[in-house]
């Protein structure tokens, strides 16, 4: 029988500013989220692994508006690095109001041409990485009895996308992880949700992914804007009575 948590009365976070930690803050979506929350007065933590220059762009955009921002480097597949990152973040900011997972690699290959190494690397980064991050965030949220998590997913995880077998599988697994975590952390007053942001072109996109996804049937004949996406992330982060849910932000039918 699974362990059941007793409900405790939520306590309000004492920080003057709410705090957000964005894993994948060097990516197109992560940078946009960091900038939006920084401009809205949140204290921002931007995580990156290899792409330091891109992460610095996110930091610079927030600093231009005199926002509070710190940069954190870690490999999400290294549990000790993730633990140290959280410790440093709490030393800097004192509490964690919102955790955003915006990491995702997407090799563009048909199943028959996907190597076992590519399959394993994609699932390790997109799914196991999220597991490691949530595992180390767990004691923080249990202690706080307040906070939220938003996982950036993909409609490909529900519908499947030709040439994206590893990516689609990893994003499907991420939604299972989200729903189970939401149920486990609900008694702690922690809201865990996911957003399907629509397709946003990235330098990390594999060949042909842009055309394959943008040609999918959109009722409005367009993909969503980055600004539309980040506004919805902020709105979901600010909504206190939603958990275990998926928001699809474009006009493709699920």
167 is an active site residue: yes
**How do residues 172-226 score in pLDDT, each as one tens digit?**
999 999 999 999 999 999 999 999 987 655 554 444 455 545 555 767 777 778 8
How far, rounded to the nearest angstrom, does the alpha carbon of residue 213 sit from its chain's CA centroid? 20
Q: Is 160 helix (H, G, I), strand (E, B) or coil?
A: coil
How high does pLDDT run on average in the chain? 87
From 72, 93, 167, 234, the catalytic residue: 167
The answer to the question of residue 10 being in a domain is no
The answer to the question of residue 98 being in a domain is yes
**How do residues 42-96 score in pLDDT, each as one tens digit?**
999 999 999 999 999 989 999 998 889 999 999 999 999 999 999 999 999 999 9
Total count of domains within the chain: 1
CA distance 107 to 161: 12
The answer to the question of residue 105 being in a domain is yes
Q: What is the pLDDT of residue 177?
A: 98
Q: What is the pLDDT of residue 136?
A: 98
CATH number at 80 reads 3.40.50.720
Q: Is 190 helix (H, G, I), strand (E, B) or coil?
A: strand
Q: What is the pLDDT of residue 211?
A: 52
The answer to the question of residue 184 being in a domain is yes
The answer to the question of residue 11 being in a domain is no
The answer to the question of residue 23 being in a domain is yes
pTM summary value: 0.87
Residue 154 has pLDDT above 50, yes or no: yes
* Pick from 20-24, 37-41, 215-219: least confident: 215-219
């Amino acid at each position: 029988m699974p362990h059941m948590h007793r409900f405790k009365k939520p306590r309000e976070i004492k920080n003057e500013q709410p705090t957000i930690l964005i894993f994948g803050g060097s990516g197109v979506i992560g940078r946009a989220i960091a900038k939006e929350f920084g401009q809205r007065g949140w204290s921002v933590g931007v995580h990156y692994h290899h792409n330091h220059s891109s992460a610095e762009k996110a930091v610079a955009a927030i600093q231009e508006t005199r926002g509070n921002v710190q940069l954190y480097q870690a490999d999400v597949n290294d549990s000790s690095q993730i633990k140290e990152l959280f410790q440093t973040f709490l030393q800097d900011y004192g509490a964690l109001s919102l955790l955003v997972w915006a990491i995702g690699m997407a090799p563009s290959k048909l199943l028959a041409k996907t190597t076992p190494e590519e399959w394993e690397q994609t699932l390790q980064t997109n799914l196991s990485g999220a597991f490691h991050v949530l595992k180390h965030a767990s004691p923080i949220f249990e202690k706080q009895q307040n906070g939220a998590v938003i996982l950036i997913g993909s409609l490909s995880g529900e519908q499947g996308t030709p040439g994206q077998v590893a990516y689609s599988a990893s994003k499907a697994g991420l939604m299972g992880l989200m729903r189970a975590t939401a149920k486990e952390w609900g008694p702690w007053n922690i809201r865990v949700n996911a957003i399907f942001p629509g397709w946003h072109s990235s330098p990390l996109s594999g060949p042909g992914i842009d055309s394959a996804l943008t040609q999918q049937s959109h009722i409005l004949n367009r993909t969503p804007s980055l600004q539309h996406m980040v506004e919805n992330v902020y709105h979901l982060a600010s909504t206190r009575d939603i958990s275990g849910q998926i928001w699809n932000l474009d006009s493709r039918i699920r």
